[in-house]
Amino acid sequence: MAAENMNREVVLSVKDLKVNFRAYGGLVQAVRGISFDLYRGETLAIVGESGSGKSVSIKAILGILANNAIIADGSIMYDGMDLTKVKEDTFHEIRGNRIGLIFQDPLSALNPIMKIGNQITESLRLNRKMKKEEAKKVALELMKSVGIPEPEKRFDQYPFQFSGGMRQRIVIAIALAGDPEILICDEPTTALDVTVQAKILELINQIKKERNLSVIFITHDLGVVANMADRVNVMYAGKVVETGTAEEIFFEPAHPYTWALLSSMPDLHTKDRLDAIPGTPPNMIYPPKGDAFAARNAYAMKIDYEMEPPMFKITDTHAAATWLLHPKAAANGIEMPAGLKARIERMKRSGALNG
Contact residues: another protein, CB under 8 A: 62, 64, 88-89, 92-93, 95-97, 100-101, 103, 105, 108-115, 122-123, 126-127, 158, 160-161, 171, 174-175, 177-178
In what helix (H) or strand (E) does residue 4 lie, and over which residues does it extend? Answer: helix 2-7
CB of 76 to another protein, least distance (A): 16
* Contact residues for 22 (Cβ-Cβ < 8 A; gap 6+): 28, 68, 69, 70
CB of 247 to another protein, least distance (A): 32
CB of 203 to another protein, least distance (A): 18
CB of 15 to another protein, least distance (A): 23
Residue closest to 110 by CA, chosen among 164, 177, 176: 164
Q: Name which of 37 and 122 has its Cβ closer to another protein.
A: 122
Report residue 72 CA to chain centroid gap. 21
Q: Name which of 184 and 246 has its Cβ closer to another protein.
A: 184
Q: How far apart are CA 322 and CA 343, in angstroms?
A: 22
CB of 51 to another protein, least distance (A): 19
CB of 281 to another protein, least distance (A): 24
CA dihedral 3, 5, 10, 12 (to 10 degrees): -140
Residue closest to 352 by CA, chosen among 173, 190, 224: 224
Q: Name which of 7 and 67 has its Cβ closer to another protein.
A: 67
Helix extents (H) in 212-267: 222-228, 246-251, 256-263
Q: Name which of 108 and 350 has its Cβ closer to another protein.
A: 108
Q: Name which of 95 and 318 has its Cβ closer to another protein.
A: 95
Residue by residue, DSSP assigns 8-27 as SPEEEEEEEEEEEEEETTEE
Q: Name which of 161 and 315 has its Cβ closer to another protein.
A: 161
* Contact residues for 113 (Cβ-Cβ < 8 A; gap 6+): 158
